Amino acid sequence: MNRRGRNVYRLSDIVHRFGGEVLGDADVRITQVATLETAGAGDISFLANRRYRKQLEQTRAGAVIVAAEDADATRRPRIVCKDPYAYFARVSALLNPPPAVSPGVHALAAIHPSARVAAGAAIAAFVSIGADAEVGEGSVVEAGCALGDNVRVGRDCHLYANATVYHDCVIGDRVILHSGVIIGADGFGLAWDGGRWQKIPQIGRVVLGDDVEVGANTTVDRGALDDTVIEEGVKLDNQIQIGHNCRIGAHTAIAGCVGIAGSTRVGRYCRIGGGAMIGGHLEIGDNVEISAATAVPKSILKPGTYTSLFPISPRQDWLRNASHIRHLDALAGRLRSLEARLAESEGKKND
């Protein structure tokens, strides 16, 4: 540990933990990660995109992480590995561990007498925990969080300030809920009845698997009848809406501002870009990648990348193209008519 209180690791220590190969001085001391542009002598950076090779040439980093094809692009001490970005993520986690949990329940927390809070959990001021709820060992519940009746929070979770988990919902182990997250609000269940909307009680739960992370102000609605399920390892960005009775498959990652309507199933290992809109009662298969701002009105059953975004162009070009698109149906009709007339003409010639 250095004088600033940070742990210090030699490159040889890092390679011993995570693999790879050191080229150059293996005794270089590293205390933090940084970008190629801002790194200094005690920092380690990485090159994952060859567009940034110029920054690699100019960096002042103490060491860098590179792929084998870039091993000769710098003379600085370097770790050569298969995937520099994933390797960098592991090194960053090593150098920036979460703070140690200080167990205990704050005097200003409101804990129902029937709730069960593990001795090793940390409950901050103004937290509300309902009847028969549970909080597991090592979990941190920050100020202003609300856990409803019969909620289950697993081990080593972190609920940031003002996260809300409605009654009966289940949170797995090592789950992170960022500020403003709402788990288990009612789904949008309504029936049109005699000129007015009739609310349908939402009696399912939300179940989050282990190692799920939910970004700030994201909402996951409870099921209408069955549960809404977010499987293990799913990563949800900020400001996402997931409707009732959805199921998100394990290790899927969803970027910010995505909306998924109710009763849609998303497969495992999917990637959904920011602002995508996915309709209800659909099925998205495993290993599907959906580009940002894509509208998905029907099921996608085959793996692959799918895009519906109209490419950006100068405004006048876009207006002209949009005008053509508006008339595609009429143009298609005219084309069919011309084809029919041509076929008729060819037929007469053959006679």
Catalytic residues: 244
Three-state secondary structure along the chain? CCCCCCCCEEHHHHHHHHCCEEECCCCCEECEECCCCCCCCCEEEECCCHHHHHHHHHCCCCEEEEEHHHCCCCCCCEEEECCHHHHHHHHHHHHCCCCCCCCEECCCCEECCCCEECCCCEECCCCEECCCCEECCCCEECCCCEECCCCEECCCCEECCCCEECCCCEECCCCEECCCCEEEECCCCEEEECCEEEECCCCCCEEECCCCEECCCCEEECCCCCCEEECCCCEECCCCEECCCCEECCCCEECCCCEECCCCEECCCCEECCCCEECCCCEECCCEEECCCCEECCCECCCEEECCCCCCCCHHHHHHHHHHHHCHHHHHHHHHHHHHHHHHHHHHHHC
| Number of residues in the chain | 351
223 closest CA partner among 251, 256, 184, 253 = 184
166 closest CA partner among 180, 178, 184 = 184
Query: Which residues, listed in sequence order, are joined to residue 22 by a DSSP beta bridge?
Result: 79
What's the N-to-C CA distance of the chain in angstroms?
95
